[in-house]
Structure 1
Amino acid sequence: MSMTPPPGWYRDPSYPLVERWWDGTAWTDHRRQPEAPQLPLTQPESPGGGGSGRAKAVALSVAGVVLVASIVTGAVLLRRDDGSGDAAATTTETTTETTTATTAVSPSASDTPSPSASTSAPSPDDPSVVVDELNGITLPLLDGWVRPQYVAEHDIVMTTPGTYDCPGDPGLCRHGRVISRTVTANDEKSPKALAQQDIEDAANSSYDRDLIDNRPFKGITSHQEVKSGQVAVAGRAGYFVRWKVKTRVGPGGYVESLAFPSSVGSESLVIVRFAFDAGSDGPPLTDMDRITKGIRPVGDADTGGGVGSSIGPSK
């Protein structure tokens, strides 16, 4: 009988100088610098002697188990979930999600992780919508966007397809990400004030430091507010702030913090963050407005909004 290695940090088969997270069935995009001596580990073949392609690839790689890695990783993720913002709040930057892909492992359909915890699969008759049940909204899945796969942050609702080598610290970056999260550790009730407070952290978490303190773009050198104002989101009065950021290496990008009241539960404020790389490889900036305009309350396809919609004053 074949036994797969337990979840943990192992030597990355495609880049042995770093460690990569194995979730028990497939390689994720999360990696870090080695922290402890590694023990060799191989993955036995499945019955019949043939073994799967994944098992052979893992068996051919030299991996080391760091037993405390899952605890460290959990602590990092919990810190990001506590509502205090993403790791490292420098004045104007964020990390793109840090990831490393391996060419040695080609995940099969059974290896594909489920979408982020805050989202559920859209209705089969509406495949162009991402459903965020936690915040009671749906978001349009535009052409050029896909549901999240192999991402370290659990609240990402969509990304651009594919990855590229980060120009700074080693890792894989994405040209675009959209994140949806409920504001739980902040008593702020004003969408305008919340968006203005959140934009710096949104920039830092996308273009400065990642979850494991790497700097995929070597940090932000400057930022400029390019747009802000009231906006109707899912029939509610919201507010957005958009920055253009320049990074030490790479194309830089655009980040936006969009705040509005949820239409479910206690109607807590919701933050939707956008992070788009600048340049021809990044998604068009109009996608920020198109996604905002297409946000709907769950079960109510007729209530929308968008830039320029008629709304009351936002506090």
Structure 2
Amino acid sequence: MTPPPGWYPDPQAPHLERWWDGAVWTEHLRAPEVPGPPQPAGGVSGRAKAVALTSAAVVLVAAIVTGVAVLGEDDDGGGPATGALPTSVPSTDLPTPTPTRTTSEPPADPDAVPDVVVDELNGITLPLPDGWTPPKNVPEDDVVMTTDDGTYECPAGVGLCRHGLVLTRTVTENDEKSPETLAEQDIPDAADAAYDRDTLDRRLYGGIESHRTVKSGPVAVAGRAGYFVRWRVKTADGPGGYVQSLAFPSSVGSESPVIVRFVFDAGPDGPPLADMDRITKGIRSIGDADTGGGVGSSIGPTG
């Protein structure tokens, strides 16, 4: 059975109609007609146009569904049989909409780590480099930051250790004001506290076997002239580490000297030594984020 001539859904574009002349498909295409009452002379009203457009959209969807159904029907389905369709039918390509992506700011993370830690007592802030975090569950006094990889079993097999610590303290036990003298006086105590005996008199690293100065000199800290001394410490157990004492005058109160101690494990698990310089360079007076010049502003760490 050959369907009679007429407009049928285009096999390759069901949203359009193509003329079937009773034997083959022709080149003639059209949009599906919208049924409706005849319009009075003089044109179509705006409301009628809106209704017609809405109806056209409904018919277009119906035509797509119908076209798909017709392609699956046999000769008894009332439309052109699938077997009678030509192997090549011209079709009209419609543009494909380009998807767009919208972006928005991610919500603030309530657990986000701050960029700095604040030492209210000494009136300074210290930057937190990558790999560092404010102290959590740390028994040592005066700790302002630790490495963020948690704890590990100490090399001597007793207690828990951390790969890196930074501590601050105010010098009150003497009247010394010279940053160089203060740093030189503090470094032995800093090394002993870090790698010899802890507050419970335990030798977590088996004790210090030797040390040597690897770096020292004047340095600008928050716009003030300071001084630092850095030791490489070798221990009986484990890879040992690096200890640094940094002294400078506070910018608050009586301007009592401040000591910042750095304790970094040596070896591949320890933090990079460059973090000592990054933290030192980033120390600021509270409320003065741009402080960096002033006394000793041209002085940097020297070997």
| TM norm. shorter chain > 0.5 | yes
Q: Which of 223, 227, 233 is the equivalent residue of 2:221?
A: 233
Any conservation in 1 of the 2:224–2:297 contact (CA below 8 Å)?
Answer: no
What count of residue pairs does the alignment treat as equivalent? 188
Q: 1:272 to 1:248 in 2, by over 3 A?
A: same
Map 1:191-270 onto structure 2 (within 5 A): 191-270=179-258
Structure 2: stretches of 5+ with no match in the other structure = 1-110
* Residue number among 155, 179, 184 corresponding to 2:142 in the alignment: 155
Structure 1, unpaired ranges of 5+: 1-123
Q: Is the 8 A contact 1:294 1:305 kept in 2?
A: no
The one-letter amino acid of 1:227's match is K
Which amino acid in 1 is paired with 2:181? Answer: A
Distance 2:117 2:162 in 1: 19
**CA–CA distance in structure 1, aligned partners of residues 293 and 162 of structure 2:** 28
Residues 256 and 275 of structure 1 are in contact (CA less than 8 Å); yes or no, is this contact kept in structure 2? yes
CA distance in 1, matches of 2:237, 2:188: 19
1:127 Cα shift?
A: 1.9
Do residues 139 (structure 1) and 126 (structure 2) align? yes
- SS of 1:291 mapped into structure 2: helix
- 2:131 maps to amino acid: G
1:179 paired to 2:167: yes
8 Å Cα contact 1:145-1:159 kept in structure 2 = yes
Structure (1 or 2) with the larger CA radius of gyration = 2
In structure 1, C-alpha distance between the alignment counterparts of 2:221 and 2:169, rounded to whole Å: 15
Name the SS for the 1:197 alignment partner: helix
- Alpha-carbon shift at residue 126 of structure 1 (Å): 9.0
Structure 1 CA distance for aligned equivalents of residues 144 and 258 of structure 2: 13
Distance 2:139 2:122 in 1: 20
Superposed CA offset, 1:174-231 (max 9, x none): 0000001101112111000000010000000000000100000010100010000000
Tell me how far 1:154 sits from its aligned partner. Answer: 2.6
- Contact 1:226–1:243 (8 Å) recurs in 2: yes
The structure 2 residue matched to 1:291, chosen from 279, 284, 302, is 279
Which residue type is aligned with residue 304 of structure 1?
Answer: G
Q: CA RMSD in A?
A: 2.0
Task: Give how far 1:125 is off.
Answer: 10
Distance 1:129 1:281 in 2: 23
How far, CA to CA, are the matches of 1:126 and 1:214 in structure 2?
32
Distance in 1 between the 2:223 and 2:177 partners?
17
In 2, Cα distance between equivalents of 1:305 and 1:138: 16
Match of 2:263? 275
SS at match of 2:132: coil
Deviation per CA, 1:127-185: give whole Å up to 9, x if none. 20100010000000111001111111231000012010001151000000000110111
Correspondent of 2:291 among 298, 303, 306: 303
| 1:148–1:157 Cα contact (<8 Å) kept | yes
SS in structure 1 at match of 2:133: coil
Matched, 1:127 2:106: no
Letter in 2 for 1:193: T
TM-score (norm 1): 0.57
After superposition, give the CA deviation of every residue in 1:52-99 in whole Å (9 maximum; x if it has no partner).
Answer: xxxxxxxxxxxxxxxxxxxxxxxxxxxxxxxxxxxxxxxxxxxxxxxx
Q: Distance in 1 between matches of 2:171 and 2:192?
A: 18
Q: Is the 8 A contact 2:113 2:133 kept in 1?
A: no
Give runs of aligned pairs for residues 30-69 of structure 1, distance below 5 A: none
Deviation at 1:286, TM superposition (A): 0.2
Distance 2:115 2:276 in 1: 16
Describe the shift of the 1:305–1:143 C-alpha distance in structure 2 as closer, same or farther (beyond 3 A).
Answer: farther
Work out whether residues 231 and 243 of structure 2, in 8 Å CA contact, stay in contact via their aligned partners in 1: yes
TM superposition score normalised by structure 2: 0.60
> How far apart are the structure 2 equivalents of 1:305 and 1:216?
41
Question: Distance in 2 between the 1:140 and 1:237 partners?
Answer: 19
Please name the residue that 1:101 is paired with: none
